[in-house]
Amino acid sequence: MIHWPFNPLAEPLASPPSPPPGGLRETAFYVFHNVPLAAPLPRLVTVAGAIRYVLDQAPSYYTSLDGTFDDYLATFSSKSRSTIQRKVRKFAELSGGVVDVRLYRRPQEMGAYHALARQVAARTYQERLFGGAIPGSPDFLRHIQALAAEDRVRGFLLFLNGQPVAYLHLPVHTDGTVEYEYLGYDPAYSDISPGTVLLFLALQHLFSEPGLRYFDFSYGYGQTKEVFSRGQYLRADIYYFSRTPYHFLAVYGHSTLDSFSVWIGRVLERWGLKRAIKRLLRGSS
C-alpha cells in the first residue's frame, strides 16, 4: 500500500496513480491510500488490464492551527459562533460555572484516561453497532502509552459533576498534524451537546500549543467537520485488482451492495427518518 500523508498544500493529481510496471499478478492488488485528487473519479472502471475501484472518495476537512484561537473564531459566521458559545455557557451553568475539561498526554496518565474514555464509549451507539468507539484492548492502551512517551497523543475528557460524559482522542503526527481519531459522548447528555463543547475547548487549547500546524478532521462528510473546519480537499483510496473472474465478482458485488446502502441512506434522509433512527439507536445504547 502506498499512503499519501495528510498535506493540504500538496498539488492534487490530475490523473490517478497506476500500478507499478509489469502489471498485476492474479492474486495481487495495489492500494493507493489518501490520494489527493483534482476532480472526482468514476467509482469502478477497467483500465490497462486491471479493475480500478475507487473507495471513500470524499472531502478531507482540516483547520490550520496557525494564528490565535480568537482569529479562528472570527472566521465563523456570527450565528455559528453564537450557537457554540451558548452551548459552552449552558454546559458551564450545569457544572457550577466552570467547565471541567482535562487533558491527558503523559505515559503515566494514559491508563486513567483510557479507562474513563471507555466508560463513556461503552454507552455510545458507535460502540454497540460497529465498534467505532475508542478501542478497549490492552494493545491499544500500550499503543497510546508508546505515543505518549514521544509526546504524540492528546486525550481530552469532559466531566459533569465528576463523571466523564465525553472524550476526544487525538494522535499527533511528527509533522505537527493533529488527527481527529475518536470522539464520543454519553447519549444521556446529548441535549447539552457534550461532544461539541469538548471539541471547541480542545481546539482552544491546541491553538495555544507551539509546533502544531493542522487539525485533520479526516475525510467524509459531517456537520461538525463543516462547522469547525476551514479548508478541504478531495481525496480517495484507489484499488487495482487483476482482471480475474473472482475479482470481477468480488469487486462488482461489493460496489452494488455499497451503492444500495448509500441509496437507502439518502431515502431515509429525504423522508426525515435518518435522524429519528440515530436518536433511537442512541437511546438504546
State which fold the 66-212 domain adopts: Aminopeptidase (3.40.630)
Q: Give the pLDDT score at 242.
A: 87
Question: Lowest-confidence range among 64-78, 95-109, 179-193, 215-229?
Answer: 215-229
- CB atoms under 10 Å from CB of 35, counted, come to 21
pLDDT for position 81: 95
pTM recorded for the entire structure: 0.82
CB < 8 Å & 24+ apart, contacts of 96-103? 99/158, 99/197, 99/201, 100/158, 100/159, 100/160, 100/162, 101/156, 101/157, 101/158, 101/159, 101/198, 101/201, 101/202, 102/156, 102/157, 102/159, 103/154, 103/155, 103/156, 103/205
What is the pLDDT confidence band of residue 277, given thresholds at 50, 70 and 90?
very low
Q: Please report the pLDDT score of residue 235 as a whole number.
A: 93
Q: How confident is the model at residue 254 (pLDDT cuts 50, 70, 90)?
A: confident
In this prediction, residues 73-78 reach a mean pLDDT of 95
Per-residue pLDDT at 184: 93
Q: How many other C-beta atoms can be found within 10 angstroms of the C-beta atom of residue 199? A: 23
Q: Are 239 and 56 in contact (CB under 8 A)?
A: no
pLDDT at 278: 46
- Do 153 and 105 form a contact (C-beta atoms < 8 A)? yes
